[in-house]
């Protein structure tokens, strides 16, 4: 294992613990000596990691530390490039531009060898069949999700029925062929999935919904019987 990878693993271990972890435990997980661990801790502290503690008491990483660019593994570089390319090809204009900008910022601070691996990345995004006709609504929807504010939407369901809904938007699902708004519907008093290409009009309501977004997302996952963030089209009523 390279030293850079070992430092990355050490950061990940510390991030997974809310309370101090003994040096002996950290050294055992990394399969290194205590002396090497102390040197690695000192290196990370010199790079700006807010690691508190000392030998015999344990160590804890305070929130807010950003990994230096040299810590990216080849797989992480590939993930960044692939995700950014997907958004650039499939996202609405503001999100696509943000993806390109973020990748450019990462590339600007990468060491030469990692920048070369980014430029030469061979993971490509193939053509898709997604229609961008509904993309104009996505920035406003994402803003409502971030602000935890209600939306009034005009909706045409799969049966061809029109309705006016007031919803609590808490997530947006990005599928290859469509985009889905996940929300609590006041009309139906339940969670509903709304295809964004079937929303003919929407209006932001200057009123926050009464629950936090993360709480709604957790309740939705429980109602769907899933543990991870993965939605599926359906439940339009």
Please state the three-class secondary structure of 181-215 as a single string. EEEEECCCCEEEEEEHHHEEEEEEEEEECCCCHHH
Q: Of 67, 87, 111, at which residue does a domain stop?
A: 67
Residue 26 inside a domain? The answer is yes
Do 210 and 143 fall into the same domain?
yes
Residue 229 inside a domain? The answer is no
Instruction: Give me the residues of the chain with pLDDT under 50, please.
Output: 229-233
Residues 6+ apart with CB under 8 A from 130: 90, 176, 177, 178
- Residue 15 CB-density burial (10 A; 0-12 exposed, 13-18 middle, 19+ buried): exposed
- Using DSSP's 3-state secondary structure scheme, residue 219 falls into helix
Residue 153 inside a domain? The answer is yes
- Tell me if 114 sits within 8 A of 72, measured CB to CB: yes
* Closest alpha carbon to 230 in 193, 185, 188: 193
Distances from the Cα of 126 to the Cαs of 76, 103, 121, in angstroms?
A: 20, 19, 15
Main-chain phi, psi angles of 179, to 5 degrees = -120, 140
Residue 126 inside a domain? The answer is no
Residue 19 inside a domain? The answer is yes
Residue 237 inside a domain? The answer is no
Q: Of 119, 150, 182, at which residue does a domain stop?
A: 119
- Tell me if 137 sits within 8 A of 196, measured CB to CB: yes
Which sign does the torsion angle of CA 41, 46, 49, 51 carry? Answer: positive
Rounded to the nearest 10 degrees, how much is the dihedral formed by the CA atoms of 210, 163, 131, 80?
10
Tokens, residue 61: 């990483």
Residue 162 inside a domain? The answer is yes
Residue 235 inside a domain? The answer is no
Measured CA to CA, the distance from residue 190 to residue 91 in angstroms comes to: 28
Helical residues (DSSP H) of 31-73, grouped into ranges: 34-46
Measured CA to CA, the distance from residue 49 to residue 61 in angstroms comes to: 7
Q: How many domains does the chain have?
A: 3
Tokens, residue 158: 């799969």
* CATH (domain of 34): 1.10.10.10
* Closest alpha carbon to 92 in 131, 138, 125: 138
Domain hosting 142: range is 132-224
- Tell me if 196 sits within 8 A of 181, measured CB to CB: yes
Do 88 and 138 fall into the same domain?
no
């Amino acid at each position: 294992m390279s030293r850079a990878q070992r430092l990355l693993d050490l950061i990940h271990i510390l991030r997974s613990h809310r309370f101090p972890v003994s040096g002996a435990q950290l050294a055992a997980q990394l399969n290194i000596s205590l002396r090497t661990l102390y040197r690695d801790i000192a290196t990370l502290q010199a790079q700006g990691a807010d690691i508190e503690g000392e030998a015999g008491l344990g160590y804890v990483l305070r929130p807010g530390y950003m990994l230096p660019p040299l810590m990216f593994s080849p797989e992480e570089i590939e993930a960044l490039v692939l995700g950014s390319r997907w958004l650039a090809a499939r996202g609405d204009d503001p999100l696509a531009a943000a993806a390109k900008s973020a990748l450019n910022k990462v590339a600007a601070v990468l060491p030469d060898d990692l920048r070369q691996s980014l430029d030469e990345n061979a993971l490509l995004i193939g053509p898709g069949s997604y229609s961008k006709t509904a993309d104009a609504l996505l920035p406003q929807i994402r803003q409502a999700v971030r602000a935890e504010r209600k939306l009034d939407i005009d909706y045409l369901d799969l049966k061809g029925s029109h309705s006016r809904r007031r919803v609590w938007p808490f997530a947006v699902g990005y599928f290859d062929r469509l985009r889905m708004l996940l929300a609590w519907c006041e009309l139906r008093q339940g969670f509903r999935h709304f295809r964004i290409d079937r929303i003919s009009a929407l209006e932001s309501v200057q009123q926050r919904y009464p629950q936090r977004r993360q709480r709604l997302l957790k309740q939705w996952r429980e109602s769907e019987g899933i543990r991870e963030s993965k939605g599926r089209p359906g439940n339009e009523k």
